[in-house]
Amino acid sequence: MTSSDNSVVSARNLCLTYQTNDGPVHALSDVDLEVRKGDFVSFIGPSGCGKTTFLRVIADLERKTSGDIDINGMTPEEAREKRAYGYVFQAPALYPWRTIEKNIALPLEIMGYPREEQKKRIAQTLDLVNLSGFEKKFPWQLSGGMQQRASIARALAFDADLLLMDEPFGALDEIVRDHLNEALLKLWARTNKTICFVTHSIPEAVYLSTKIVVMSPRPGRVTDVIESTLPAERPLDIRETPEFLEIARRVRDGLRAGHSYEE
Ligand code: ADP
Ligand code: MG
């Protein structure tokens, strides 16, 4: 008995080494982490520190080299077969020849949902991300922020409890990002999901998270795990409070400490 009932992701001594022509790349080294039901966990660290790799191990898109990882008490493979998670990629990754509703329908079609149920879920998720009325549009008719909301809708459509998001707002300007951060927090509060969110923005990590995982490069390891003391209700101007700035400072210190691993 290692993990309790509400454990969603549990990693112990997790290691992943890529074999490349230039020799082994230690992308993850002895990662220990617990993500619990309802957590909003951000992973922050410089590029190349293994953030995407960690999400891909959870999603069974990469296999660990050693150590242990459970998703809802299952192996990543079992969790993938049970559709335990929705995945939002860095770029919206919508199919240009499909309308927004057809893009969102895709995983539902693959999973064999009846047409009526598909329609219902598309309407619900479009409403959640504030895109009702755009179902017949093609991705190129939408702004970058709207496209990313559509890919969030697609990841939500089959109602997995776990959402994996890899720098979903990284390419957007700050104003749009602020707006989507606020919307995502509301959505998270309303749907009770567990979210693993990759970012390299300190304010974004602090604003969104219940828990911040600070990672360092070469080999990717966790240098600090910060439990947020901010209240659940977070207006954007919470970012100017001393409490917020104190957490941001701790994240920055963790990132700086991690850099000393570099030669
Ligand atoms: P991050 O998302 O934090 O930027 P990644 O998880 O993408 O980092 O990468 C971690 C390290 O593993 C990097 O050094 C990267 O070059 C390397 N890497 C990632 N994917 C592969 C792969 N498929 N083959 C070999 N090396 C890889
Ligand atoms: Mg990445």
The answer to whether residue 184 is domain-embedded is no
Q: From 109, 135, 159, give the residue that closes a domain.
A: 159
Nearest CA to ligand 1 atom 2: 52
Return the higher-pLDDT residue of 166 and 259.
166
The answer to whether residue 188 is domain-embedded is no
* pLDDT tier, 261 (very low <50, low <70, confident <90, very high otherwise): very low
* pLDDT tier, 4 (very low <50, low <70, confident <90, very high otherwise): low
Based on the fold, state whether residues 56 and 110 are members of the same structural domain: no
Res 260 pLDDT > 70 = no
Based on the fold, state whether residues 10 and 43 are members of the same structural domain: yes
Q: Which of 151, 175, 176, 179 is nearest to 165 (CA)?
A: 151
Q: Is the CB of 47 under 6 A from ligand 1?
A: yes
Cβ(192)–Cβ(232) below 8 Å = no
Res 3 pLDDT > 80 = no
pLDDT the model gives residue 172:
83
Based on the fold, state whether residues 243 and 121 are members of the same structural domain: no
Amino acid identity of residue 123, one-letter, is A
Based on the fold, state whether residues 154 and 211 are members of the same structural domain: no
The minimum-distance atom of ligand 1 relative to the CA of 20 is 25
pLDDT the model gives residue 111:
85
Q: Is the CB of 51 under 6 A from ligand 1?
A: yes
Domain count, the chain: 2
pLDDT the model gives residue 37:
96
The answer to whether residue 181 is domain-embedded is no
Look up the domain containing 142 and give its range: 92-159
Report the side by side order of strands in the sheet with 66-71: 23-36, 7-20, 66-71
What is the helix (H) or strand (E) element at residue 67, kind and residue range? strand 66-71
The answer to whether residue 182 is domain-embedded is no
* Interval 76-109: pLDDT, tens: 999 999 989 999 888 778 999 999 999 999 989 9
Residues 43, 37: Cα–Cα separation, whole Å = 17
Nearest CA to ligand 1 atom 22: 18
Nearest CA to ligand 1 atom 19: 53
Based on the fold, state whether residues 72 and 24 are members of the same structural domain: yes
Based on the fold, state whether residues 153 and 51 are members of the same structural domain: no
Q: Is the CB of 20 under 6 A from ligand 1?
A: yes
Q: What is the CATH number of the domain that holds 238?
A: 3.40.50.300
Q: Which of 228, 61, 91 is nearest to 165 (CA)?
A: 91
* pLDDT tier, 187 (very low <50, low <70, confident <90, very high otherwise): confident
The answer to whether residue 168 is domain-embedded is yes
pLDDT the model gives residue 262:
45
Would you tell me how many other CB atoms lie within 10 Å of the CB of residue 121?
20
Q: Is the CB of 217 under 6 A from ligand 1?
A: no
What is the helix (H) or strand (E) element at residue 76, kind and residue range? helix 76-81
Return the higher-pLDDT residue of 4 and 178.
178
The answer to whether residue 96 is domain-embedded is yes
Based on the fold, state whether residues 144 and 199 are members of the same structural domain: no
Return the higher-pLDDT residue of 165 and 170.
165
* Interval 208-247: pLDDT, tens: 999 999 999 878 899 999 999 999 899 999 999 999 999 9
Q: What is the rounded average pLDDT of the residues 157-176? A: 88
The answer to whether residue 204 is domain-embedded is yes
Paired with 226 in beta bridges are 212
Per-residue burial over 85-112, b if 16 or more Cβ lie within 10 Å, else e, is bbbbbeebebeeeebbbbbbbebbeeee
Distance of CA 72 from the midpoint of ligand 1 (Å):
25
Based on the fold, state whether residues 48 and 168 are members of the same structural domain: yes
Q: Is the CB of 63 under 6 A from ligand 1?
A: no
Based on the fold, state whether residues 170 and 258 are members of the same structural domain: yes
Residue 143: which region, alpha, beta or left (left: phi > 0; alpha: psi -120 to 50)?
A: beta
* Interval 48-87: pLDDT, tens: 999 999 999 999 999 999 999 999 999 999 999 998 999 9
The answer to whether residue 187 is domain-embedded is no
Say whether 143 sits in a helix, a strand or coil.
coil
Distance of CA 181 from the midpoint of ligand 2 (Å):
19
Cβ(18)–Cβ(27) below 8 Å = yes
Distance of CA 90 from the midpoint of ligand 2 (Å):
8
Based on the fold, state whether residues 65 and 166 are members of the same structural domain: yes
Based on the fold, state whether residues 259 and 169 are members of the same structural domain: yes
Residue % of the chain over a pLDDT of 70: 97
Based on the fold, state whether residues 16 and 68 are members of the same structural domain: yes
First-last CA distance in the chain: 40
Would you tell me how many other CB atoms lie within 10 Å of the CB of residue 208?
24
Average pLDDT, the chain: 91
Distance of CA 27 from the midpoint of ligand 1 (Å):
6
Residues 254, 173: Cα–Cα separation, whole Å = 26
* pLDDT tier, 128 (very low <50, low <70, confident <90, very high otherwise): confident
Q: What is the rounded average pLDDT of the residues 120-149? A: 92
